[in-house]
Amino acid sequence: MRIGSRIRRATAVTLSAALMLPVALASTGAVSAQDDSGGTFVAAWIGPCCLDVDTNNALAAGGDYHWWNKIYGRLFTYAVDVDRYGALTGDLATEWNVSEDGLTWTIKLREGVTWHDGTPFTANDVKFTLELCSNPTAGGCVWSFTPIVGIPEIQAGTATEASGVVVVDDLTLEITTAAPNSLLPDLLSEIFILPKHSLGEIPVDQIGASDWWTTQAIGTGPFKWSVYTPGQSIELVRFDDYWRGAPKLDGIIRRQFQDISAAIIAFEAGEIDMTYVTADEVGRLTDSGAGTIFAGPSGVNNFISVNPILNPELADPIVKQALLQAIDRQAIVDNIYGGAAELVPCLYGRKNLQGDTPMWDYDPDAAKAKLAEAGVDLSAMGEITWDTYYNDALSANVMTAIQANWAEIGLTVKLNPMEPSAWTQKWYDDGGSSMSLAGGANGPTGNRAYQYFHSSAAWPTGNNGFNGYAYSNPELDALLDAATAEFDPAAQDLVYQQACAILANDLPWINLWQSVRYHIVSNDMQNVILIPAAGGGTYYDAVETWTKTSS
């Protein structure tokens, strides 16, 4: 395919975000007239997205992204479109384009950005961050940049510098990928950029356990580290030299809560301005007028995975389709989720990536017919242990409902909620789980399918399968490779739609739904942008424009 003709479309020139207002608002939020009164935003970062105040390594933390973005900056971010991701935009990057052959990206960085200690931000910081993240002695990093030339060598421990990341000058970076990869900006949108001049002073093998993260942490974000009280709170103060302009708020305080109910009580008492809320509390809180509910798709696909090694009878896609058609998903969404979930045909929750992929609607008769066609008698399999790491009451109710649905087609399952790390070992390390209810994080693009379903992403390199097994479909592999190399967004969507159709047919994951998640924000706050997103998300929330009125 010709890449040259797509370069003009691929080339994105983004003006400084200081001139750019958010595209849209959260679905139920309202923008009030701005109030320049300052104040401190106090909140509980709690819920499925979040960790705690004591986990402060921004490389290794697999969550809290909407907390870290208050301190650190990224090269790219996403605008918000009502209640979900919108378009990719520049953050620390202002301009990016790719060469004719689709391999070399030239990224212009924003001028005038400084770290919290006043040191200028440069391309060296980006190179440092990417190499640090890839270094296996750095104590862990949740992201992987293997498409970039030289990164796999660092990951393997045979190099310390990425030959594919070149600092052209202080504000220009060239990144070369091993193959054309239109999703590089999306990949780079995930990692927070760290200061080479500060963190680089620490030996790499000490960075993971370093107290830098709690005593000297500096970023390019709108707020800077102030006070850390272990087990209790973190206080940030306004960074007056923030490149988008000094924030309106004086500061932000993150309060530690272990219990969501306690956080909700604290919100109602006026002690905090924001918290995650469970679906069963939304109605009551809405009626009370205590604040504004921010709702949206969670970005997490709930699915059932089946172990084809332990249960070869269930490996047949026809049988898995039968299992799915035997589940009255809509009734579960209506009655257990209270309508707060969207059915999905594959990994993707975004309609533009689903296309016309069939949903496998509830039809127990069709399910039984498929089982007969496959020659499988589920009742002869005996009781299957159905594991999950979800330990909440809602998930228990969901599994109980599905258990009853499956009983009608002869399948008997025993519910087995487990602790997350024990589940991880059982499913991934041991390959010992017959069946699991789990969740898979989605991102702003269809890129996540690569790590879950591409044959090159077999466990433990990626997240496909488990020890001794990986799903493999050459046709899907080809589609995912093609999507990665496709620089036309519309054409890329069509490729992902085809991938969705294959995933809906093969059902490596028996896809259920994507639930809605909720937060509540105090009526004292204005201009807040907040969407549920896996891990907290990579969207631009314009926190420097948030204001707080005293009540």
Partner 1 sequence: MGAYIARRLLISIPVLLGITIIVFTFTALAPGDPVDALIRPEFGNNEAMRNAIIAHYGLDQPLPVRYLRWLGGVLQGDFGFRILSGQAILGEIGRAFTASFALMGTALILGMATGIPLGVLSAVRQYSKLDFMLTGVTFLGISVPSFLLGLGGLYLVGLQWDLVPIGGMTTIGQPFDFIDFLHHLALPAVILAFGYAAIFLRYTRASMLEVINAEYVTTARSKGLPRRTVIGRHTFRNALIPIITIVGLSLPAMIGGAVVTEQVFSWPGLGQLLVDGVNERDYYLIMGITLLLAVVVLIANLLTDIAYGYADPRIRYS
107-136: which residues touch partner 1 (CB under 8 A)?
134, 136
Q: Which of 14, 57, 77, 325 binds partner 1 (CB under 8 A)?
A: 57
Q: Footprint of partner 1 on residues 149-168 (CB under 8 A)? A: 155-156
Task: Based on the shown chain and the rule CB under 8 A, indicate whether residue 288 belongs to the binding site for partner 1.
Answer: no
Residue with structure tokens 């310390």?
160
Which residue stretch of 16-24, 232-240, 366-374, 392-400 sits at the interface with partner 1 (rule: CB under 8 A)? 232-240
Interface characters, 522-541, with partner 1 (x: CB under 8 A) = ------------xx------
Residue type, 143: W
Work out whether 138 is an interface residue with partner 1 (CB under 8 A): yes
Residue 366, token pair as written in the block: 């069709």
- Provide the 3-class DSSP secondary structure of residue 466: strand
Q: Which helix (H) or strand (E) holds 274?
A: strand 274-277
Please report how close the Cβ of residue 272 comes to partner 1 at its closest, in angstroms: 8
Closer residue to partner 1 in complex, CB, 121/389: 389
Q: Are 376 and 313 in contact (CB under 8 A)?
A: yes
Q: Which residues contact 474 (CB under 8 A, 6 or more apart)?
A: 455
Contact by Cβ (8 Å): 282, 71: no
Nearer to partner 1, 48 or 364 (CB): 48
Contact status: 229 vs partner 1 (CB under 8 A): yes
Least distance (Å) between residue 85 CB and partner 1: 17
DSSP of 142-175 = S---TTBTTHHHHHTTS-SS-TTEEEEETTEEEE
Is residue 63 within the footprint of partner 1 (CB under 8 A)? yes
Residue 394 touching partner 1 (CB under 8 A): no
Closest approach of partner 1 to the CB of residue 494, in Å: 25
Tokens read off for 185 = 């900006």
Give the total of residues touching partner 1 (CB under 8 A).
77
Task: Give least dist CB 427 to partner 1, A.
Answer: 8
Q: Are 143 and 211 in contact (CB under 8 A)?
A: no
CB of 81 to partner 1, least distance (A): 22
Q: How far apart are CA 206 and CA 407, in angstroms?
A: 54
Find the binding residues for partner 1 in span 180-209 (CB under 8 A): 205, 208-209
CA separation for the pair 256, 51 (Å, rounded): 10
Q: Across the chain, how many H-helices and E-strands are there? A: 19, 20
Cα(272)–Cα(269) distance, integer angstroms: 8
Q: What is the 3-state secondary structure (H, E, C) of 67-89?
A: HHCCCCCCCEEEEEECCEEEEEE
- Nearest approach in angstroms of CB 491 to partner 1 is 26
300 binds partner 1 (CB under 8 A): yes
In the complex with partner 1, the residue whose CB is nearer, 229 or 379, is 229
Q: Tell which positions 20-49 bind partner 1, by CB under 8 A.
A: 40, 42, 48
Residue 30 bridge partners (DSSP) = none
- Greatest distance between any 2 Cα atoms in the chain: 70
Binders of partner 1 in range 432-471 (CB under 8 A): 438-441, 448, 451-452, 459-463
Cβ atoms of 179 and 147 within 8 Å: the answer is yes
Binding range to partner 1, per CB under 8 A, among 4-12, 192-200, 238-246, 416-424: 416-424
Cα→Cα distances 135→161, 312, 459, Å: 9, 39, 20
Least Cβ distance, residue 137 to partner 1 (angstroms):
6
Q: Which of residues 339-378 bind partner 1 (CB under 8 A)?
A: none
Of residues 253-272, those binding partner 1 (CB under 8 A): 253, 255-259, 261-262, 265-266, 268-269, 271
Residue 545 CB, shortest distance to partner 1, in Å, is 22
CB atoms within 10 A of CB 348: 26
Query: Which of 38, 139, 317, 489: binder of partner 1 (CB under 8 A)?
Result: 139
**426 contacts partner 1 (rule: CB under 8 A):** yes
389 binds partner 1 (CB under 8 A): yes
